[in-house]
C-alpha cells in the first residue's frame, strides 16, 4: 500500500533516455518522467497517436473509436488520498485509478497497433492485457515494467510504488510487432491499491492491402495511361 499525505479528492464521477525490449510479439518502450512537465506530465510521442487525457467533463469516453468500461468518471481522481490513490508524478489533472479488484476495459472500433500510457507509481500487482477478439495476445505486469526501467536506466535495483520518483512513474509504449498481434481490446487490472495512469494513447492500424487488389489497381492504372496516350495520338 502506498503511504501518502492525504489531500483533497475530487472524484469527477520528453524525457531522458528511452529503452525498449521485445517479448510476446510486442515491443515495449519505457521513458522516465525526468523531463515531463506539470500539469499534464508525460504524453505519447508516437506519430499518429490519439491521446485520451480524461480531462473532459464526460471523463473516460463511452462513444467513438475508443470506448471505456466502466465509462464516464467513476474511476477518475484528482489529487491523492492516503491508502487509496497516488497522483502520478508531475500530474495535476484528472487521472484513471483502479483499486483492488477493479479493472478498466478499453474497446476499440477496429484493430490497433500501438497503445501507450503514463503509468504512475508502478506496483507489482498492476497489469495490462492485450486481446484480439476473445484471444489473449499478451499480458504485462508491473514487475516486467520495473525490470525494464532498471535495465535501461542502469538503476541499482528495481523500484516500485513511489509517486515522486521519475523512475517509478514512466510513460510506457506497447507496439504490436506484426499484424497477428494487432489488438482491439486493452484491459487494465489491479489486484492491490492501486493502478494509476493517465494520457492513454492509441494508433489505429493501417489496413493491409490484399495482394490481388493491389495488382488490380496497378493494372487499372496502366490501362488508363494507355487510353490517354491513344487518345492523344488520335
Domain boundaries, the chain: 18-233
User: Which pLDDT belongs to residue 185?
Assistant: 98
Distances (CA, A) of 186 to 60, 103, 209, 216: 14, 10, 25, 36
Distances (CA, A) of 138 to 65, 68, 186, 199, 223: 22, 20, 10, 21, 46
Closest CA to 94 of 126, 135, 52: 52
**Mean pLDDT in each 10-residue stretch from start to end of the chain (234 residues)?**
36 36 84 91 96 89 93 79 88 93 96 98 96 97 96 94 91 97 98 95 86 55 60 58
- Dist CA 8 CA 79 (whole Å): 6
- Dist CA 3 CA 1 (whole Å): 6
User: Which pLDDT belongs to residue 226?
Assistant: 57
**pTM of the entire predicted model:** 0.80
- Lookup result for grid cell 506519430: 47
User: Which pLDDT belongs to residue 138?
Assistant: 97
User: Which pLDDT belongs to residue 11?
Assistant: 27
User: Which pLDDT belongs to residue 135?
Assistant: 98
User: Which pLDDT belongs to residue 215?
Assistant: 52
- Dist CA 223 CA 44 (whole Å): 44
- Dist CA 20 CA 17 (whole Å): 10
Amino acid at each position: 500500500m502506498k503511504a501518502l499525505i492525504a489531500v483533497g479528492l475530487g472524484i469527477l464521477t520528453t524525457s531522458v533516455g528511452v529503452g525498449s525490449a521485445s517479448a510476446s510479439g510486442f515491443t515495449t518502450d519505457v521513458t522516465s518522467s525526468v523531463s515531463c512537465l506539470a500539469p499534464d506530465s508525460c504524453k505519447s510521442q508516437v506519430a499518429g497517436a490519439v491521446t485520451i487525457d480524461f480531462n473532459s467533463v464526460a471523463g473516460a469516453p463511452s462513444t467513438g473509436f475508443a470506448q471505456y468500461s466502466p465509462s464516464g468518471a467513476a474511476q477518475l481522481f484528482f489529487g491523492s488520498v492516503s491508502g487509496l490513490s497516488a497522483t502520478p508524478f508531475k500530474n495535476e489533472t484528472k487521472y484513471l485509478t483502479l483499486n483492488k479488484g477493479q479493472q478498466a476495459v478499453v474497446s476499440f472500433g477496429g484493430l490497433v497497433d500501438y497503445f501507450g500510457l503514463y503509468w504512475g507509481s508502478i506496483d507489482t500487482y498492476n497489469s495490462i492485457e492485450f486481446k484480439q477478439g476473445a484471444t489473449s495476445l499478451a499480458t504485462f505486469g508491473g514487475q516486467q515494467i520495473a525490470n525494464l526501467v532498471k535495465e535501461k536506466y542502469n538503476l541499482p535495483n528495481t523500484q516500485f510504488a513511489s509517486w515522486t520518483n521519475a523512475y517509478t512513474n514512466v510513460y510506457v509504449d506497447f507496439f504490436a510487432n506484426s499484424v497477428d498481434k494487432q489488438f482491439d481490446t486493452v484491459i487494465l487490472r489491479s489486484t492491490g491499491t492501486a493502478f494509476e495512469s493517465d494520457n492513454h494513447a492509441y494508433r489505429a492500424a493501417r489496413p493491409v492491402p490484399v495482394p490481388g487488389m493491389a495488382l488490380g489497381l496497378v493494372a487499372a492504372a496502366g490501362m488508363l495511361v494507355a487510353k490517354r496516350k491513344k487518345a492523344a495520338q488520335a
